[in-house]
Structure 1
Amino acid sequence: MHDKDRNALDLFIDYQRAQNLAATTIRNRRSILTTFARRTGGLVDTDVFTLRRYIGRDDDVSPGTRRTERGALIAFYTFLHDEGLRADNPTTKLPVVRVPKGLPRPFTPEQIDAMLNSGAYAKTRAMILLGYYQGFRVSSIARVRGEDIDLAARTISTTVKGGKVRLLPLHDVIAELSKSMPPHGYWFPARDGSAGHVRPSSVTDLITKAKLRAGILDPRLTPHSLRHAFGTDLVEQGVDIRVVQELLVHEHLSTTQIYTQVSDRRKQDGIRTLAPREVPARSGRAAAKIAA
């Protein structure tokens, strides 16, 4: 990467940190921009045609990935334009990426049991339980601390997207789990001995290994599928979807609907709530004419 591009990227990272954006967001955007610069030969001085060609490349890229890349590029070039580091903003003419509505991809209860009994170590099992019983993302799992648990109030504190801290109900399974976990500090400390927690990518790797050991080979099922299972099973048990939205800490109900699969049984139960009514065997027109 050229010095000019590297300096601009460093300034953009400083700007995002000043915005208090999540470290995961900053890291992902940096990766996207670095890859773009490497593949196209430049970053700051690119044009809209190069941007369109890159986002629309025939490289087996999913629509969701294209949309994420577009968002990172828009944020970067808007920053350059606003800061006077570039006279124009080439992303203003980028087309919207059409993404099909997502479908939930939850683990089944049997698959979750299989992962827990796959020979996974205690910390990996704890990660799986947090993903399912609290609906946590891998980033939230990675940073759980003993201080986040309040057994008296039955709550757990977590930091969600955007750096927001939320207080959520504590599931009984996690309350019991907490008794065997460190009461202070991170439950999953960094492996290098530093004061921080493990990387979210490490959580992903550990749960994925448990999944594979359990013989679950479906590539659509990821550690995030534990969160999908959390939402789906709550709906299956009759929990109001607005409550599920709050537990998943979603700003929009439409997002929650992506996470919640409705079973055939629930659909059947739902349609049967419409009460039957008596339908006449005949039209009755002939009798009406005779009476007239």
Structure 2
Amino acid sequence: MHYQDAAALEMFVDYQRAQNLASTTIRNRTSILGTFARKTGSLVDADIFTLRRYIGRDDAVSAGTRRTERGALTAFYTFLHDEGIRPDNPATKLPVVRVPKGKPRPFSAEQIDAMLAAGTYTKTRAMILLGYYQGFRVSSIAPVHGHDIDMLSNRIRTVVKGRKEVRLPLHPVIAALALTMPLDDYWFPARQGRGGHIHSTSVTDLITKAKKRAGITDDKLTPHSLRHSFGCDLVEEGVDIRVVQELLAHENLSTTQIYTQVSERRKDDGIRTLTPREVPARSGRGAAKLAA
């Protein structure tokens, strides 16, 4: 990366930290911008045609990825323009990326059981349980600490998107798990002598390995799918959608709406309610002619 590009990216990182944006957001944007610079050969001086060509590249890139990349590029070039580093903002002419309405990608109960039973280590099993029984993202699983658990109020503390701290009801399975985990330390401490907790990417890697060991080959199922299972199963059991929204710590109810889509099981149950009819083996036309 050119010195000018690297310097601008570093200033953008400082700006985002001053905004108090989540470290995962800053890290993801930095990765997107770094990849863009490597593939196009320029970052600060890129024109609108380069931006459009990059966003609209390979058909294998999902609409969601294109939207995320557009957001990172827009934020970066808006910063450059506001700071006077660029006289214009090429990102203002980027088209809006149309993204199809999302659908949940949940693990089935059998798949979750298979992951837990496929020779998975204790810590990884705990991660899977937090993903399903608390609906935690990997970014919330990684920093779980013994101090986050309050057995008296039956609550678990976590920090969700937007760096908002919330206290959620503690599922009995996680309450029992907490008795076997560190009371005064991180549940998943960093490795190789480093302080703090493991990175969320490590959580993703460990759960993904458990998925593969269980023989689950569906690429659309990711560690985040445990959260989808949590939301879908709550809706399936008739939990009010507003309660589901609070348990998932969604800012907007519209985000929770994807979990209200009719499940395959309910479709199967619905179609089976139609009473079977006895279908004649023959048309009966011959008998009708003879009778005439």
Asked if TM exceeds 0.5, the reply is yes
3-state SS of 2:192 partner: coil
3-state SS of 1:156 partner: strand
The residue identity in structure 2 corresponding to 1:188 is F
| 2:49 paired residue number | 49
1:238 pairs with 2:235: no
Q: Tell me if the contact between 1:235 and 1:262 (Cα under 8 Å) persists in the aligned partners.
A: no
1:269 and 1:52 map into 2 onto residues whose CA distance is 46
2:231 and 2:253 map into 1 onto residues whose CA distance is 12
Q: Percent identity?
A: 75
2:16 and 2:44 map into 1 onto residues whose CA distance is 17
Q: Tell me if the contact between 1:104 and 1:260 (Cα under 8 Å) persists in the aligned partners.
A: no
1:141 pairs with 2:136: no
3-state SS of 1:158 partner: strand
Give the C-alpha shift of residue 29 in structure 1. Answer: 0.4
2:146 and 2:203 map into 1 onto residues whose CA distance is 18
1:194 and 1:263 map into 2 onto residues whose CA distance is 44
| 1:11 paired residue number | 11
1:58 and 1:265 map into 2 onto residues whose CA distance is 36
> How many positions carry a matched residue from both structures?
272
1:261 and 1:184 map into 2 onto residues whose CA distance is 41
Give the C-alpha shift of residue 263 in structure 1. Answer: 2.5
The residue identity in structure 2 corresponding to 1:174 is I
The residue identity in structure 2 corresponding to 1:179 is L
TM-score by length of 2: 0.90
Residues 215 and 270 of structure 1, relative CA distance in 2, 3 Å threshold: closer
2:118 and 2:261 map into 1 onto residues whose CA distance is 26
| 1:169 paired residue number | 169
Q: Deviations over 1:22-72 (max 9, x none)?
A: 111111100100010111111001111110011001251111100000000
1:192 and 1:67 map into 2 onto residues whose CA distance is 36
Give the C-alpha shift of residue 262 in structure 1. Answer: 2.8
The residue identity in structure 2 corresponding to 1:123 is K
Residues 256 and 181 of structure 1, relative CA distance in 2, 3 Å threshold: same
- The answer for unaligned runs of 5 or more in structure 1 is 272-292
**What pairs up with 1:146-161 in 2 under 5 angstroms?**
146-161=146-161
Q: Tell me if the contact between 2:115 and 2:214 (Cα under 8 Å) persists in the aligned partners.
A: yes
1:80 pairs with 2:80: yes
Root mean square deviation of aligned Cα: 1.7
1:67 pairs with 2:67: yes
3-state SS of 1:96 partner: coil
Q: Tell me if the contact between 1:107 and 1:226 (Cα under 8 Å) persists in the aligned partners.
A: yes
The residue identity in structure 2 corresponding to 1:223 is P
| 2:40 paired residue number | 40
Q: Tell me if the contact between 2:52 and 2:94 (Cα under 8 Å) persists in the aligned partners.
A: yes
- The answer for unaligned runs of 5 or more in structure 2 is 272-292
Residues 224 and 119 of structure 1, relative CA distance in 2, 3 Å threshold: same
2:237 and 2:117 map into 1 onto residues whose CA distance is 24
1:190 and 1:219 map into 2 onto residues whose CA distance is 28
The residue identity in structure 2 corresponding to 1:93 is K
The residue identity in structure 2 corresponding to 1:142 is A
2:103 and 2:128 map into 1 onto residues whose CA distance is 21
Give the C-alpha shift of residue 252 in structure 1. Answer: 1.4
